[in-house]
């Protein structure tokens, strides 16, 4: 076998642990137990018979075999598929074969999980700090005027490369030129804000009298020019929400036609590191029009998968180059402001977490 050509992945800061990460689509927990690697750790996800989602460390304390390879009984008890250790949904080891007493330290670690919107969220850090109320409401999942199309892919790149991608939307004009990108995006400046108390970076781009990109033309029937807006809420490092608005441009609007009603969209991304160089990419694409239109749902899903394919190819190329040649020196522009703020905030958050008492890790 050949030696790997690639250099070791460059040292990245460790992962933030005390935050809610999206772990799975809710629908993924309807089948057999689900093994999923999150922050480099294999986790076993399933529902108890009453529907409660559960997340356990996916290695039996006996010899490390994945619990997801075992069986889940109607009594919500997992039997390890290697030597038969049995565990309840709270991680307690209930019995071991060949002896009456359960040995010490035989319980398996559990992780707080919660359902919110179309997703199951997980807390990989200190369970005492896990407050479901901290999952940002900006997703719009609770807003009945929106409908969402969710999905999940794995991207072969560090989560930072993906965050860079989605925070600098000028790439739409190039990577996605045939779908949602027009020159307006790359040519229009952004305004950025940040809120350290929520680990939040915001960026907005207002594009009056803009060209209507093909995807919006198809979905809304709008023609150029349009008034187009993009508002980003990025909760470092795990959740990205982009509010988009398109509407017939005010400059060509005939007041006799009544008020302009914008088409609103929400692009929700969950960035959940699988490892230092792979990332789960969850998405939920929301809209406030064509509710209940299954054909539109399908068009949105397919369109989103195409966009992700283009982005995933780009960041995977960057990851490969970084593996082989090391990080590239960088030159930044005004459009990179939000991404740079986010990177610095991530560094502060990692430092803060590293400095916290062990109980909070």
Question: In the window 5-44, what residues touch a copy of itself (CB under 8 A)?
Answer: 5-9, 37, 40-42
186 binds a copy of itself (CB under 8 A): yes
* Whole-Å CA distances, 191 to 76, 160, 187, 206, 336: 51, 21, 13, 9, 11
Q: How far apart are the first and last CA of the chain?
A: 40
324 binds a copy of itself (CB under 8 A): yes
**CA–CA separation, 224 vs 37, rounded Å?**
45
| Choices 60-68, 120-128, 238-246, 288-296; region in contact with a copy of itself by CB under 8 A | 60-68
Burial-class residue 97 by CB neighbours within 10 Å (0-12, 13-18, 19+).
exposed
Within residues 206-235, the interface with a copy of itself by CB under 8 A covers none
Asked if 17 contacts 124 with a C-beta cutoff of 8 angstroms, the reply is yes
191 binds a copy of itself (CB under 8 A): no
Nearer to a copy of itself, 58 or 304 (CB): 58
Taking CB under 8 A as the criterion, the residue among 22, 34, 43, 96 binding a copy of itself is 96
| Choices 13-21, 124-132, 253-261, 323-331; region in contact with a copy of itself by CB under 8 A | 323-331
Burial-class residue 354 by CB neighbours within 10 Å (0-12, 13-18, 19+).
exposed
CB of 256 to a copy of itself, least distance (A): 37
Site string for a copy of itself, 138-177 (x = CB under 8 A): ------------------x-------x---x-xx-xxx--
**CA–CA separation, 167 vs 242, rounded Å?**
10
**CA–CA separation, 361 vs 124, rounded Å?**
9
Taking CB under 8 A as the criterion, the residue among 26, 62, 152, 301 binding a copy of itself is 62
Beta strands (DSSP E) in 82-118 are: 86-87, 93-95, 110-111, 113-116
Within residues 297-316, the interface with a copy of itself by CB under 8 A covers 314, 316
318 binds a copy of itself (CB under 8 A): yes
Nearer to a copy of itself, 98 or 221 (CB): 98
Nearer to a copy of itself, 135 or 338 (CB): 338
CB of 17 to a copy of itself, least distance (A): 15
Task: Give the count of residues interacting with a copy of itself (CB under 8 A).
Answer: 74
* Whole-Å CA distances, 78 to 53, 56, 91: 14, 11, 10
Backbone angles phi, psi at 274, to 5 degrees: -85, -45
179 binds a copy of itself (CB under 8 A): no
Nearer to a copy of itself, 128 or 321 (CB): 321
């Amino acid at each position: 076998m050949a030696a790997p050509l690639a250099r070791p992945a460059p040292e990245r800061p460790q992962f933030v642990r005390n935050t809610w990460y999206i772990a799975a689509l809710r629908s993924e927990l309807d089948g057999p137990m689900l093994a999923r690697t999150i922050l480099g750790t294999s986790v076993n996800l399933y529902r108890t018979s009453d529907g409660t989602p559960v997340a356990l460390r996916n290695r039996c304390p006996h010899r490390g075999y994945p619990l997801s390879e075992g069986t889940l009984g109607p009594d919500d008890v997992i039997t390890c598929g290697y030597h038969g250790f049995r565990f309840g949904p709270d991680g307690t080891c209930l019995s071991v074969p060949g002896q009456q007493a359960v040995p010490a330290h035989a319980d398996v670690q559990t992780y707080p999980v919660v359902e919110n919107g179309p997703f199951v969220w997980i807390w990989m850090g200190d369970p005492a700090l896990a407050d479901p109320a901290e999952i940002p409401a900006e997703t719009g999942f609770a807003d009945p005027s929106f409908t969402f199309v969710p999905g999940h892919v794995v991207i072969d790149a560090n989560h930072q490369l993906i965050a860079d991608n989605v925070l600098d939307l000028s790439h739409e004009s190039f990577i996605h030129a045939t779908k949602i990108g027009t020159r307006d995006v790359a040519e229009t400046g952004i305004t950025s804000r940040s809120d350290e108390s929520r680990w939040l970076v915001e960026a907005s781009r207002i594009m009056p009298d803009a060209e209507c990109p093909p995807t919006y033309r198809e979905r809304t029937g709008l023609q150029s020019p349009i008034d187009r807006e993009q508002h980003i809420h990025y909760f470092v490092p795990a959740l990205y929400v982009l509010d988009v608005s398109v509407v017939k441009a005010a400059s060509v609007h005939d007041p006799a036609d009544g008020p302009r009603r914008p088409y609103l969209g929400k692009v929700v991304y969950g960035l959940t590191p699988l490892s230092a160089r792979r990332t789960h990419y969850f998405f939920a694409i929301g809209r406030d029009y064509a509710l209940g239109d299954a054909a539109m749902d399908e068009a949105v899903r397919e369109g989103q998968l195409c966009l992700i394919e283009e982005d995933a190819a780009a960041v995977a190329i960057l990851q490969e180059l970084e593996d082989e040649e090391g990080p590239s020196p960088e030159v930044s522009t005004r459009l990179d402001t939000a991404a740079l703020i986010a990177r610095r905030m991530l560094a502060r958050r990692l430092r803060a977490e590293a400095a916290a008492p062990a109980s909070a890790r």
